[in-house]
């Protein structure tokens, strides 16, 4: 795993945006694996700037997202579908029909997982962007998820529900389940760019980079990826 330590969140976002832009410049029909959460927002802003400045076009790009809450429709303002429109898709020249996110309001969640897994087989990611949970999760693959997992339904841990509650009115409103891309599918991407910012990620960053590769820290599997770059700010890298 290559590790890049930057001074702060903005610098981390710049490095990340350049890494994604390089992929799209080299291959305008690239498939991007995308993440939600607070961490990639700065990177998405810069990618939108690149598009506005005509440096980059997403007109032929496809995207597949990592995960979605179960029970939230795409129009709910805390759904990841809504997040992607607001933070990226509405500001770039992508065709919305080329973007995919698990359907959190599917009546048959198992069928939706199987459908999404099949879709991922046909849309191999040239680059996968990842955030990192404070418990070491990637996507919503919580600790002890098998490394060979594919898209599945997750019961979110209390840790994750609490972390995510900052975006909801109260803890009771936070969905307890999600559909997530599995670890095996995350690892299929040609390149992985993992972002982490802030002191509250420092322990997970240490376990990811220096700890044993085991399911207690799902992100530790990234040590085995042939082209993974961890872009960290100083606070997140403080225990390395």
Please report, as ranges, the residues that interact with ligand F6R according to CB under 6 A: 35-39, 66-67, 131-133, 137-140
Active site residues: 67, 135, 137, 142
Comparing every residue's Cβ against ligand F6R, the nearest one is 131
Least distance in angstroms from the C-beta of 107 to ligand F6R: 23
Alpha-carbon gap, residue 147 to 72, rounded angstroms: 27
Of the pair 110, 167, the CB lying nearest ligand F6R is at 167
Of the pair 35, 237, the CB lying nearest ligand F6R is at 35
Asked if residue 160 lies in contact with residue 218, where contact means CB atoms within 8 angstroms, the answer is: no
**Residue 25 DSSP class:** H
Least distance in angstroms from the C-beta of 166 to ligand F6R: 9
Least distance in angstroms from the C-beta of 42 to ligand F6R: 11
Least distance in angstroms from the C-beta of 178 to ligand F6R: 9
Asked if residue 205 lies in contact with residue 132, where contact means CB atoms within 8 angstroms, the answer is: yes
Alpha-carbon gap, residue 191 to 200, rounded angstroms: 25
H or E segment to which residue 205 belongs: helix 202-210
Least distance in angstroms from the C-beta of 23 to ligand F6R: 19
Q: Tokens 């939230």 identify what position?
A: 72
Of the pair 27, 41, the CB lying nearest ligand F6R is at 41
Of the pair 25, 82, the CB lying nearest ligand F6R is at 82
Structure tokens at 162: 């609490």
Of the pair 15, 138, the CB lying nearest ligand F6R is at 138
Alpha-carbon gap, residue 235 to 63, rounded angstroms: 30
Query: Could you give the C-alpha distances from 239 to 10, 23, 39, 75, 102, in angstroms and in order?
Result: 20, 30, 19, 39, 35
Query: Could you give the C-alpha distances from 112 to 18, 118, 237, in angstroms and in order?
Result: 33, 10, 37
Residues 6+ apart with CB under 8 A from 172: none
């Amino acid at each position: 795993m290559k590790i890049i330590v930057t001074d702060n969140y903005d610098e981390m976002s710049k490095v990340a945006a350049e890494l994604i832009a390089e992929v799209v410049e080299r291959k305008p029909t690239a498939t991007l694996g995308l993440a939600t959460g607070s961490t990639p927002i700065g990177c998405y802003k810069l990618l939108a700037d690149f598009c506005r400045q005509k440096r980059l076009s997403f007109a032929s790009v496809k995207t597949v997202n990592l995960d979605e809450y179960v029970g939230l429709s795409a129009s709910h303002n805390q759904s990841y579908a809504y997040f992607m429109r607001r933070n990226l898709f509405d500001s770039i020249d992508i065709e919305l029909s080329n973007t995919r996110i698990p359907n959190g309001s599917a009546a048959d969640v198992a069928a939706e997982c199987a459908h999404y897994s099949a879709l991922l087989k046909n849309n191999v990611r040239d680059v996968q962007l990842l955030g990192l949970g404070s418990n070491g999760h990637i996507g919503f693959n919580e600790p002890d998820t098998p490394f060979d997992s594919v898209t599945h339904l997750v019961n979110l841990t209390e840790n994750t529900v609490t972390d995510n509650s900052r975006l909801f009115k109260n803890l009771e409103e936070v969905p307890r389940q999600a559909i997530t891309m599995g670890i095996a599918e995350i690892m299929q991407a040609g390149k992985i760019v993992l972002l982490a910012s802030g002191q509250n990620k420092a322990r997970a960053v240490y376990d990811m980079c220096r700890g044993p590769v085991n399911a207690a820290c799902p992100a530790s599997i990234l040590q085995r990826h042939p082209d993974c770059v961890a872009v960290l700010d100083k606070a997140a890298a403080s225990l390395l």
